[in-house]
Structure 1
């Protein structure tokens, strides 16, 4: 029978073979006391399959694979004695009508550096992990609901590059990136990084969202063990690692999954189900158990083999809706005549429950842009069981408001308060992601109204409001120091801007906010619960000022935020407070830390019996234009 047993075939056919990546693909093995490589591939429609590669000079007939019994299982296998790791290879698939297809291994753990498209034999089982402390702590959380999550979204190829080189030689390797990026992230105060474009992909311009290698860290930055080293390094420095993961679609590249064995296999056969007209990509067949197992196995490999702490699932809406991006006649309703993809719904319930159930403390994050109900709700109650959902509604309202001239903000005040009306319906992450700073959308700083320092002041108060608002946080790289140009995957970030005091001040401002976020449980403990947040004044539209409280479980070290979204100073600003106590100023935007001509403020503000904002007690504070003040107090 070989490496792939009858039990393997059964589990694969049920979509429950959770370590399928150890069976399919190319793996070192010993048979009859001989070391070699065992190849196994799923190609049920193929007439014949051959392994071709550097080791046989790409001979198309030398190494024919055996179709295992039962034949309907569609598994081909071949053990080649004496063969070691390192060689490039592909599968030559002969279709029943005589066509020859040269395919990369869908389960390969390593690939040739693009523009090459071959797979590379490797052994990923020998890395020595030393992140036990992190892994035990992660498991002890159970969920991340009450833990801090401030995520730095990073594209590895353009965060930083070696000087003087524009091509591939300029990339940081995984190990170089680990050291430089980890040092920066720790200094800034982020709790997690989220890496784009780690699963192997052929085209740089896709940023990693058109994947051909779901089981392979991209070879652009090094070997699989180098990627494992990166994850291990971050964990030893107490930083979590989240990956973008793309089960929504895949490209039509000839070496990839499209019509893998001569006809639709990984995709739906009917193009009305199996193709995205707008994206020019194929849609996975979520009704095929072997395809579901392919995706589930990929997710489990990243989480369990590479110790990844969570997956941000891209384009969830495109999976849930059969008519997503399609006109009438381009899609097929489900059996109830609706536009819901029932198979994708069940897939999400299965995989999300499985991942977080087997790996406590890990997260599954939905990039879902519609009002689909209960994305983070429990599966038994009809939810999809994601850990968190990107709050795209908040993001759009926030950016719409921030782009406005301050004079017109009073007429759009509700854009900044509306998200709290549905905050408890899901478990949210507030995001300002790469999608908001590409395709002529401008960088964050250039979305802001005004000129010069007004732009920086606007963005600072916006970031402070975001940090105080309930929900975990995500900020794309470069926006923490106000990168001027839109992001491009072709060049590194504009680090030279940090020589400019305004950009350096922005970075310091964000850094201070991130460290406050991590320090005070009030900022994250009760993100998704009604008793974790309270408006002091949500209706001060004429002055465009927002004041609110973030609460901790024990009522200690709660935080009062005041944010002024106009350039008008309020020297006699008074804000209502919940208790008759002293309020300690822990952060203010005109601090000397942030500007050369900063202002020293008293640190303590005693409440007085003076009605304001519907409360008996209040404090007075000189609030500057675009001013932010954060006060600490206890009930």
Structure 2
């Protein structure tokens, strides 16, 4: 009865734990035997081959059931042996195929699955999971360190660290740098490292390069024990077109669209999932839940959402939908369903969309036509702000809107502000190298930029190496330029990032109200001539921070702004302190406000604003003002 139900829900697209039916399992009716199941509805024949059959010498015939699933039970396999499926496609072509539901694959370039039963685990991260359920993440600090697991650090022989080694070195580094979360580029099995993991083949398998599933479970558990969340990139839109993986599995479009142009992703040399097919939905929804449940992941960043939403996003020919528009209706409905299913089972995990348009509400609820994601990468903010900081300060007054425009739409969605891997490759230069000026000014600009990111509403993300100002672009097959830290300026940059991250966690005004103008008050966004921006971030208990950014290398003495509260103010961040790599030996002195009209304010604060620097202030002691006659 259970198998009948599994098959029925699979066909309806309602099986959300499909790996419990398809793939390799212990045969409960035969001691020492394993049962293998694979979906290949139009195949003419499927055989099981592996170490236990002498591969092609004695293949084991599989039997097809009424929904196109081929099955066989055998007591020949032993744990640790490798197997594949020999599929005679419709039309007669015979190909070797991987098991799409394998949880462990052999090392590249092989694609064979390893006979391996699931290990039951007694997790020791209960306190973290309880806090996650209780407090969520919307009104919590989220500051993400984005990592490519196989190039963060390499062994002496040039091979990547596994998660066993990353547990010992990366977690202490995350603690030292005060990040709240770590996010990994895709960890699922992929045939080519050059793809960074975005051309997937094993949607249930940890990439062999990174060690065993237990290694990754240990890593996640240790992160949680150190109060660090773990996020993973996931790619449900497209997959590798390698012939031994999912591509045209049974000789017909099985996982991909029937239409040739919709099936082929010309830009990325991949194949697009048929997101309207029930069985494909079961496959992908099961994969998402598998990573969340098997590894206690705290969230998924869904890659390339635009490619799933718009028929004309790719470079190839396209056909309008039945309404004459460019929306991929199947993709739109799948993404809504994805978030609905994930949130039904795990309402406390983070669902993040990488999406580059504004045509579809991404983080709005379903009833408002949204997709139900928790966060969206703010690609517009990222592009605008990097273009501004790369510009010569002489011209910044003419492009000041690049800095201020985001305040017009800042709460239209729930945003993550990303400085991601995509911004430090393919000739775009590293974050430090993007900055204007000589080496001193580049570091000053980078400190200013990171302070602006931290103070701006929205959650934060920074790609590895950017935290210490690595000069060279990221290279996927080399480790970070850790040798840069032999240089004093890089060490000071790393120290600054660490202190800034700690400051972010310590001040609720920077993350408590990230979703409305209740948490933001712009003081002055019109000072183009001096290229100075000032605004206030507010917490929900009346606490606030005054954030001032000087975008030019000109120190401004006796700089004055209006502030909402009279009292003694203390400077709590100055990006130009010597300890950070600047020239200031100490902070601005504590400063008392003065009565005076300044825009809509009746109090002013005057201080020295550092050249190309950021200055953040808090109220140290409030002063009650006497009521005026007008009041």
Does 1:84 find its partner at 2:78?
Answer: yes
2:242 is aligned with 1:253: yes
For normalisation by structure 2, the TM-score amounts to 0.96
- Per-residue CA deviations over 1:573-613 (Å, capped at 9, x if unaligned) read 11211111222221112324213854223552221113334
Give the Cα–Cα distance (whole angstroms) in 1 for the partners of residues 419 and 559 of structure 2: 30
Which of the residues 221, 226, 229 maps onto 1:237?
Answer: 226
> Out of 523, 537, 560, which is 1:536 matched to?
523
Whether contact under 8 Å (2:90, 2:252) holds in the other structure is: no
Structure 1 window deviating more from structure 2 (598-607 vs 317-326): it is: 598-607
Question: 1:457 aligns to what?
Answer: 444
Change (3 A) 1:626 1:448: same
* 1:61 Cα deviation from its structure 2 partner: 4.8
Name 2:40's counterpart in structure 1: 43
Q: Deviations over 1:100-130 (max 9, x none)?
A: 0110011110111101121112223323311
Which of these residues, 467, 473, 491, is aligned with residue 478 of structure 2?
491
Distance in 1 separating the partners of 2:378 and 2:442: 24
How many Å apart are 1:60 and its aligned residue? 5.8
Displacement of 1:554 in angstroms is 1.4
What residue in structure 2 maps to residue 323 of structure 1?
312
2:371 aligns to what?
A: 384
State the alpha-carbon separation in 2 of the partners of residues 179 and 28 from structure 1. Answer: 34
Distance between the aligned counterparts of 1:502 and 1:178, measured in 2?
28
1:266 to 245, 252, 255: 255
Secondary structure of 2:170's counterpart equals helix
Once the two structures are superposed, the pairs formed by residues 122-521 of structure 1 within 5 Å of their partners are 122-141=116-135, 143-163=136-156, 165-166=157-158, 170-327=159-316, 330-521=317-508
How far apart, in 2, do the equivalents of 1:597 and 1:605 lie? 21
Q: Is the 8 A contact 2:445 2:613 kept in 1?
A: no
1:380-436 Cα offsets, whole Å, 9 max, x none, are 321100110000000000011011001110001110110110111100000000000
Name 1:604's counterpart in structure 2.
590
Distance 2:343 2:618 in 1: 35
SS at structure 1 position matched to 2:33: strand
Q: How much has 1:270 moved relative to structure 2? A: 1.1
Give the corresponding residue for 1:117.
Answer: 111
Secondary structure at 2:273 match in 1? coil
The aligned counterpart of 2:627 is none
Give the whole-Å Cα distance in 2 for the aligned partners of 1:111 and 1:79: 20
Q: Does 196-205 or 615-624 show the bigger shift? A: 615-624
CA contact (8 A) 1:158 1:493 kept: yes
Runs of 4+ aligned structure 1 residues displaced above 6 Å come to none
Equivalent position SS for 1:157 = coil
Q: Are the equivalent residues in 2 in contact too, given 1:24–1:107 (CA < 8 A)?
A: yes
Encode CA deviations 1:303-344: one digit per residue, 9 max, x unaligned.
Answer: 1121111111111001100111235xx112111111111111
User: Any idea what the Cα deviations from partners look like across 1:242-287, whole Å, max 9, x if unmatched?
Assistant: 0010011111101111100111100001112111122221110011
* CA contact 2:46–2:88 (8 Å) conserved in 1: yes
Secondary structure of 1:485's aligned partner: coil
Separation (CA, whole Å) in 2 of partners of 1:213 and 1:91: 15
Quote the residue 2:626 is aligned against: none
Deviations 1:433-485 (A, max 9, x none): 00000000000111111112011111111111111000000000000001110
Q: Aligned partners of 2:511, 2:95: CA distance in 1, in Å?
A: 52
Report the equivalent of 1:23: 21
Residues 206-249 of structure 1: CA distance to partner in whole angstroms, max 9, x if unpaired? 00000000001100021111111111111111100100100111
Q: CA RMSD in A?
A: 1.5
Asked if structure 2 preserves the Cα contact closer than 8 Å seen for 1:25 and 1:105, the reply is yes
Distance across 2 between alignment mates of 1:254 and 1:619: 67
Decide whether the 8 Å contact of 1:95 with 1:261 is kept in 2: yes
Distance of 1:215 and 1:140 partners within structure 2: 29
Distance 1:583 1:434 in 2: 38
Distance 1:291 1:418 in 2: 40
Q: Distance in 2 between matches of 1:200 and 1:318?
A: 21
- Return 5+ residue gaps in structure 2 as ranges: 623-631
Query: Could you tell me how far apart the structure 2 residues matched to 1:358 and 1:446 are?
Result: 44
Residue 138 of structure 1 contacts residue 360 of structure 1 at CA under 8 Å; is this kept in 2?
A: no
Is 1:54 aligned with 2:40?
Answer: no
Deviations 1:519-543 (A, max 9, x none): 1111111111111111111111111
Q: Distance in 1 between matches of 2:582 and 2:410?
A: 38
- Given that residues 50 and 60 in structure 1 are in contact (C-alpha distance below 8 angstroms), is that contact kept between their aligned partners in structure 2? no
Counterparts of 1:606 and 1:574, CA distance in 2: 12
Q: TM-score, normalised by structure 1?
A: 0.95
Matches within 5 A, 1:617-632: 617-632=603-618
The separation in 2 between residues aligned to 1:295 and 1:239, in whole angstroms, is 27
SS in structure 1 of the partner of residue 580 of structure 2 = coil
Aligned-partner Cα distance in 2 for 1:475–1:543: 28
Structure 1 pair 612/501, CA: closer, same or farther in 2 (3 Å)?
farther
8 A Cα contact 1:60 1:92, kept in partner: no
Are the aligned partners of 1:395 and 1:430 in contact in 2 as well (CA < 8 Å)? yes
For structure 1, the 5+ residue unaligned runs are none
- 1-side partners of 2:177 and 2:291: how far apart? 26
Cα separation, 2, equivalents of 1:546 and 1:62: 71
Aligned to 2:510: 523
